[in-house]
Structure 1
Amino acid sequence: MRQNRPFIATAVWSIPKTVANRFPETGSSLERYAAIFKGVEINSTFYRHHQKKTFARWANAVPSQFHFAVKIPREITHEARLRNIAPLFDTFVDEVSTLEGKLGPLLCQLPPSLSFDAGEAEAAFSTMRRFFTGTLVLEPRHKSWASQSACALLNDYAIDRVLADPAPVWPPSSFHGAPRYVRLHGVPKIYYSSYSNAEIRAFAERLDAESWCVFDNTASGAAIENALTMRDHMASWQYG
């Protein structure tokens, strides 16, 4: 069994009362969260800008091995719809740069109405790669992104597909190796439903040491409960 563990994370770092006893009693919510988990997904960047000093403060609050995945702003993905994004993306990358070595993947989630257009997608990905050489992951929600040409373009720009649940584009069977990024939104009620131990185990067994598994079923508090379950059992589960 590998000694390194995947990044088990949630899409928030607030801690519900139901599991508060699993975390240190003192410190900020982020400090308490980072004492147990080694990664988190920042979703607030999707809705608004943060100052560079805010990212720096977050980076300084967590251990050296902790990483932040960051969601790309909706002004890039939903408003500009990936067109002419250079100024916006440059600004975003500059803002998150103060996370320094604790910056993990950038998550690009597309709206359900945004279909695959080879020319526009290539221009956007080329722009992203001009400003950012780290891990980029894509979560589209229009079925046209399942095409071979879309997947080939992602491969050309070293952009990883997100294994999402529910899976509007790429079913789990389309991932032949360990996925780089998994986002579990909750089924049947998105953002609310909790996963069973068996479901958590099934996802855990797909991961390797480079994988991220983010629980996004945060509305009911299930995300951290599910993430703790995966973390607690990972040592005894075979994965890879």
Structure 2
Amino acid sequence: MNDAVLDGALSKKPGRIFVGCAGWSLAREHAPAFPGDGTHLERYARQFNTAEINSSFYRPHRPQTYARWADSVPADFRFSVKIPKLISHEQRLQDSDQALDEFLGQCGELGERLGCLLLQLPPSLAFEPRAAEVFFTRLRQRFAGQVVIEPRHGSWVQGEPMLTHYRVAQAGVDPSRLSNDSQPSGWPGLSYRRLHGAPRIYYSAYEEDYLIRLAAELKAESQSGAPTWCIFDNTASGAATGNALRLIELLGQ
């Protein structure tokens, strides 16, 4: 996509705002917000328009499983799918053709409900331009959809021009780990946030003042026309569900 096309695509109407959680477990204290019959995913999808599939990071899922998940949610629901740690942590982005083919063949069964791929890197993986370019080239040969990266080594700050070239957004994360990851960056065609909870990562709920500021920032970011994602990953104590529900209220969705 050239700059003129991108500028035109991002200057029309506000982009959709996607709010959800890492996974779709329903904390007991929030069960009244998810009434009715159905699986956890079916009930979850009546309130939220996205979910991040993290289990794909740890183990492969059968294509039929992805197809079943796609059939369980409304047509406008979108999944973010985490790229396996085999690719990111074990192979370290090298010689990953077979693993990429297998993964994309599996999650591709989500069809139009596949919103983006999430590549989370280990803290030990530094930015090495040649290896990164080979990986993103191979990925783009296989997948034309949206991709977001969450690097955890400071040297990836140098990689932002390459991310933009390969249409890869960089997640804004909390707590921040790098000098440039407190806000979404990289390719401007996608804005993606992963909120892990603070001060206790994965456990702490976000306070009302934080959520009010966050809602305003998401609305502002969506004005570019880019899809704007916010995933709560403070799931260990169920805080993600409550935070996501409250953020939807603040957004007026």
TM-score band, normalised by the shorter chain? over 0.9
8 A contact 2:22–2:233 mirrored in 1: yes
- Residue 170 of structure 2 corresponds to residue 161 of structure 1: yes
- Residue 231 of structure 2 corresponds to residue 222 of structure 1: no
- Residue 242 of structure 2 corresponds to residue 233 of structure 1: no
Q: Secondary structure at the match of 2:249?
A: helix
Q: Distance in 2 between matches of 1:178 and 1:83?
A: 26
- Residue 201 of structure 2 corresponds to residue 201 of structure 1: no
Partner of 2:122: 111
Partner of 1:172: 182
Q: Structure 2: which amino acid aligns with 1:26?
A: D
Displacement of 1:180 in angstroms is 1.2
Query: 1:59 is matched with which residue: 59, 67, 70?
Result: 70
Alignment of 1:19-98 (within 5 A): 19-98=30-109
Check 1:90–1:229 CA distance in 2 against 1; reply closer, same or farther (3 A cut).
Answer: same
Q: TM-score normalized by structure 2?
A: 0.88
Q: Secondary structure at the match of 1:205?
A: helix
Give the unaligned 5+ runs of structure 2.
1-12
Displacement of 1:173 in angstroms is 5.8
Check 1:174–1:4 CA distance in 2 against 1; reply closer, same or farther (3 A cut).
Answer: closer
Displacement of 1:25 in angstroms is 2.7
Partner of 2:27: 16
Q: Secondary structure at the match of 1:206?
A: helix
8 A contact 2:185–2:191 mirrored in 1: no
8 A contact 1:178–1:206 mirrored in 2: no
Partner of 1:128: 139
Map Cα deviations across residues 54-105 of structure 1 (whole Å, 9 max, x no partner). Answer: 0000101111111110000000000000011111111100101110010011
8 A contact 1:215–1:223 mirrored in 2: yes
Question: How many residues are treated as equivalent by the alignment?
Answer: 233
Q: Structure 2: which amino acid aligns with 1:71?
A: K
Give the unaligned 5+ runs of structure 1.
none
8 A contact 1:107–1:137 mirrored in 2: yes
Check 1:174–1:216 CA distance in 2 against 1; reply closer, same or farther (3 A cut).
Answer: closer
Displacement of 1:174 in angstroms is 7.4
8 A contact 1:178–1:211 mirrored in 2: no
Q: Secondary structure at the match of 1:35?
A: coil
8 A contact 2:170–2:192 mirrored in 1: yes
Q: Distance in 2 between matches of 1:119 and 1:203?
A: 36
Displacement of 1:171 in angstroms is 3.9
Q: Secondary structure at the match of 1:212?
A: strand
Q: Distance in 1 between matches of 2:135 and 2:79?
A: 23
8 A contact 1:24–1:35 mirrored in 2: no
State the identity %: 43
Q: Secondary structure at the match of 1:138?
A: strand
Check 1:86–1:3 CA distance in 2 against 1; reply closer, same or farther (3 A cut).
Answer: closer
Map Cα deviations across residues 162-204 of structure 1 (whole Å, 9 max, x no partner). Answer: 0011111224367597961100001111111110111112222
Q: Distance in 2 between matches of 1:173 and 1:210?
A: 15
CA RMSD in angstroms comes to 1.8
- Residue 160 of structure 2 corresponds to residue 151 of structure 1: yes
Displacement of 1:5 in angstroms is 4.5
8 A contact 2:123–2:151 mirrored in 1: yes
Displacement of 1:9 in angstroms is 0.8
